[in-house]
Chain A
Amino acid sequence: MRAIGLILAGGSNNKMRELSNKRAIAAMPVAGSYRSIDFALSNMSNSHIQKVAVLTQYNARSLNEHLSSSKWWDFGRKQGGLYIFTPMVTADNSWWYRGTADAMYQNLNFLKNSHEPYVVIASGDGIYKLDYNKVLEYHIVKRADVTVVCTDIDGDDINRFGVLKMNEESRIEEFEEKPMVTQSHTISTGIYVLRRRQLIEMLEKCAQEDRHDFVKDILIRYKNLKRIYGYKIKDYWSNISTVESYYKTNMDFLRPDVREYFFREGPEIKTKIDDLPPAKYNPGAKVKNSLIASGCIINGEVENSVLFKNVFVGNNCVIKNSIILNEVYLGDNTHIENCVVESRDTIRANSYHYGEDGIKIVVEKNERYVL
């Protein structure tokens, strides 16, 4: 492959509410069996990008655990590999990553020491499938300096994205970061392709001026100077970085078309294998329109929900329209509706949780060994 990969997985934001207390957004469990970063990593691997760096900062340990072995995504080869870069103190730098551009600038040596001519930059919170080779071909045909992968969305969610407008040649003419009001429906997905030397040059210039953000300080400032093109994708794409979109994205997997696209059609999304036994249904189990991951033991009622790995559902439980993260224990007679239940929670018997206006996040202590 002619490109190396960079995955920006550093951030946290308060829109994830309590869910980001424990982990980086890129480490959020998605669709029963996966973590958010699996999608970017699998896309890289499936596009034959062999050398990938993950830039992470906030609560990096959660991500480190997931990436403790790179073999699941077929990295860890003599040629290439998976690198995890957290901020570090050096003779001439003692800052955290102050922004996306700064994160890359602090790892400039990685970029300089590679020999592949191109760089694919992706974020760790996108749920999608994409052959980056297609974007790269497009980038070359358009003789672009930077290619931004973009997609059309509708809804009022738009003001949390970079919004752009392209001319008939697909060159980006307007680019606003998180605008309050906008006419456009086209947003940046946070996936970029550019020449490695171009990136190094831009990052160095940016650092000299003491600027740190890739979108604000590079893309938007350069948009009239450099040839910045948009590559529009029409397949499924979703960003999980708010509670509402996280919830919706998981629920999307209850749709047959989404399951077909991600679960059955190649190429496959890979993840760390957990070696859990098959899901077990005991008398009293009543499951409707739900995704159930391996290792679950179900004694109660589950409807329109996503159960992640190793969830235990006690007798007479009712779970509706909810997302139950890994290794949750639900005691008997518990009612959970419109909730996201944080992983490893122990929900005591006879509990009642109902998200009345919006999604409720249930965080309980893990008292497994006390009960």
Chain B
Amino acid sequence: MIKKEMIAMLLAGGQGSRLGVLTEKVAKPAVSFGGKYRIIDFPLSNCINSGIDTVGVLTQYQPLLLNTHIGIGIPWDLDKNEGGVTVLPPYEKSTNSEWYTGTANAIYQNMDYMAQYNPDYVLILSGDHIYKMDYEVMLDFHKANKADVTIATMPVPLEEASRFGIVVTDETNRITQFEEKPEKPSSNLASMGIYIFSWPILKEALLAKKDQNNLDFGMHVLPYCHEKKQRLFAYEYNGYWKDVGTLGSYWEANMELIDIIPEFNLYEEFWKIYTKGDIIPPQYISQEAVIGKSLIGEGSEIHGEVQNSVIGPNVYIGPGTVVKDSVIMRNTSIGRNATVDKSIVAESVKIGNNVTLGAGEEAENVAKPKVYSFGLVTIGEHSVIPDGVTIGKNTAISGETTMDDYPGGTLQSGGVIAKDGESA
């Protein structure tokens, strides 16, 4: 019989709507990060580096790119004879077919997948955080405390605590109280959305709560375990951990990688982050190029100026163009004499000559002021921007735009152009 001590279940089905046009056609875990990576590379690499070789990836929202990226798991050595990576989309059942309606519901619907590995422990992960973590150390903690459930936590500033699930612990790290996004938090230990369950406990809880609508770990399963007086422990993590759920935090996390010695260091031999490296050639920096503090990916050709930016693989930046404080994802090309200021440009975008991104003063976004703020210009994947246009701050563009979309050649600050898809 197949037996795995611990298997991982990676929740990768969410849209991540606060990333706006970046996740219009791409699930959040598949969004590029740090030049050559995608967000899901971090939990997947953590798994294999922690010795976990069986990972179920639960997908639902726009899974095409995610599926292509994961494939059979070769980049992470997760192409195993036994175990390895399995993509788990929702499926039709003889009775009660439904989408994944909540985090715990998704896990519940894949009970058979977990059972076939006969695990002692199940690790629940989410696919939208940037961090390096040894789950084996967390498992040791779980075992040492004879815990039923261990929740990875980290201290956050008290004023931000109401955005998280908050736990209160006693002196032995046992959780005495559990609050989901409390208005008045009674501690600053935030749940990171990473849980280790002893398998019988998880099974029992999911079966007991299976009829709950939108069954969620933070809202339903953990409080249920807590009520049943099970042994819930908080494992405190103090390394780098970044939730890149908003455009602002996404941009910031990318910018932090450029620091001379970044807090999150990708250059260490130890604990490598793996990704599907499909672009092999070196990058070319031309005679007229100027490169300041930046990260630049494989196969890119730079003829212009790049300052304080993260440039993905296979990007072309034309002569006379200046890119500053920006994130440019793979396969994007930018023409001549363009100015790109504080922008996030997704994959395979074509930006014409003499285009200006990030011009003028900030103004509130007309469509989604909470999403498109921070003064950023955000451009969705496969967008086209014609020659010579000027685009303001807090703007979003998706789809193939033409001159007609820019009255007077300009998109004012706060404007949105959504050519394909429902809305930006």
Contacts and interface: CB of A to CB of B under 8 A. Distances in A.
Interface residues on B, range: 35 or more
Interface string A39-83: 000000000000000000000000000000001000000000000
B91 interface: no
A273 B267 contact: no
B8 interface: no
Contact of B282 (A268, A292, A297): A292
Contact of A278 (B285, B295, B306): B295
A295 interface: yes
B291 interface: yes
Interface string A306-345: 1110000000000000000000000000000000000000
A12 interface: no
Contact of B281 (A31, A285, A297): A31
A34 B281 CA distance: 8
B48 to A, nearest CB: 11
B334 to A, nearest CB: 17
A291 B302 CA distance: 11
Interface in B289-327: 289, 291-299, 301, 306, 310-313
Interface in B269-294: 272-275, 277, 280-287, 289, 291-294
A259 B283 contact: no
B36 A33 contact: no
Contacts of A259: 281, 284, 301
B287 A289 contact: yes
B139 to A, nearest CB: 25
A138 interface: no
A283 B260 contact: yes
Nearest to B260: A282
Nearest to B301: A259
Nearest to B258: A280
B293 A294 contact: no
A141 to B, nearest CB: 35
Given A275-B272, A278-B36, A281-B292, A33 B287 contact: no
A263 interface: yes
Given A263-B299, A275-B273, A281 B294 contact: yes
A275 B293 CA distance: 22
Most buried by A among B274, B294, B312: B294
Nearest to A280: B295
Contacts of B299: 263
B293 A292 contact: no
Closest 7 CB pairs of A and B: A32-B282, A278-B35, A277-B266, A263-B281, A293-B282, A287-B285, A291-B282
Given A269-B280, A275-B274, A278-B297, 7 more contacts: A33-B281, A271-B280, A280-B267, A285-B293, A289-B287, A293-B298, A307-B282
